[in-house]
């Protein structure tokens, strides 16, 4: 069996001790490699363009700019990157703004190390990686009129979905992984992945986080 490719990570945080500690932690995990680090948004953009990492772990409080404000420039420098906000802020507006800017996830610095490494791996697979304790705050942010991405305007954005696609969308809204969905509906995991790709195309979004937002907003969860 071919081993999974190593996930290449760029760490962005202006606190030197935290950045070094996080780098050391991740470097000791099998399947993960920290290929660079940066203390500000400008250096992060240059590193992202040069290194083309798989994942960027981005603090939301950087000198002169927030991490959320830096997301579009980072994605322009590295379009294939998954940008994960890693922060102490549990404010729903920061969460909604991060997803609206194009981040693939929002994680709290209080999470356990193993949960962080699992979240990184899941993000590369396209899974939603919002910290569980932020789920209800995401719903609150949407109700306050956040800028989280919406599907294209139409009478019913779910009208094109098959019954199975609706079931899988609801499962994604609950934070369920592809493997768990396959087990729940007694179908192959490869079939689940095909359905997820159909959901991306039909709802015009690019991540499971945004699918989860839609599922929650439409009352499927």
User: 172 and 135: one domain?
Assistant: no
Quickly tell me which residue has 């991060």 as its tokens: 98
Q: What is the pLDDT of residue 197?
A: 87
- Token reading at 139: 């719903």
CATH number of the domain bearing residue 13: 3.40.50.2300
Reference 211, options 153, 136, 131, 157; nearest CA is: 157
How would you write the pLDDT of the chain (221 residues) with one tens digit per residue?
Answer: 556 789 999 999 999 999 999 999 999 899 999 999 999 999 999 999 999 999 999 999 888 888 989 999 999 999 999 999 999 988 888 888 888 888 988 999 998 889 899 999 989 988 768 887 777 676 665 555 444 444 444 457 788 899 999 999 998 888 788 889 999 999 998 899 899 888 888 888 777 777 877 887 788 87
**Number of domains, the chain:** 2
CATH number of the domain bearing residue 187: 1.10.10.10
User: 107 and 195: one domain?
Assistant: no
User: 176 and 137: one domain?
Assistant: no
Does 151 reside within a domain? no
User: 175 and 78: one domain?
Assistant: no
Domain extent for 184: 163-217
Could you say which of 115, 143, 171 is where a domain stops? 143
Give the chain's end-to-end CA distance (angstroms, integer): 37
């Amino acid at each position: 069996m071919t081993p999974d490719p190593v996930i290449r990570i760029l760490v962005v945080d202006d606190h030197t001790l935290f950045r070094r500690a996080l780098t050391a932690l991740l470097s000791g995990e099998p399947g993960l490699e920290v290929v660079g680090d940066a203390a500000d948004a400008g250096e992060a953009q240059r590193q992202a363009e040069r290194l083309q990492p798989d994942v960027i772990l981005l603090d939301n409080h950087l000198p002169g700019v927030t991490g959320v404000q830096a997301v579009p420039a980072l994605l322009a420098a590295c379009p294939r990157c998954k940008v994960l906000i890693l922060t102490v802020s549990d404010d729903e507006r920061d969460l909604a703004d991060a997803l609206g800017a194009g981040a693939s996830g929002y994680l709290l610095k209080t999470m356990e190390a193993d949960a962080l490494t699992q979240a990184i791996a899941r993000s590369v697979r396209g899974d939603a990686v919002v910290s569980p304790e932020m789920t209800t705050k995401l719903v609150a942010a949407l109700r306050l009129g956040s800028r989280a991405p919406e599907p294209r305007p139409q009478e019913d954005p779910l009208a094109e979905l098959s019954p199975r696609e609706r079931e899988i969308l609801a499962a994604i809204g609950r934070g369920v992984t592809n493997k768990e969905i396959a087990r729940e509906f007694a179908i192959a995991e490869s079939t689940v992945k095909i359905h997820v790709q159909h959901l991306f195309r039909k709802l015009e979004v690019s991540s499971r986080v945004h699918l989860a937002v839609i599922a929650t907003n439409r009352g499927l969860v």
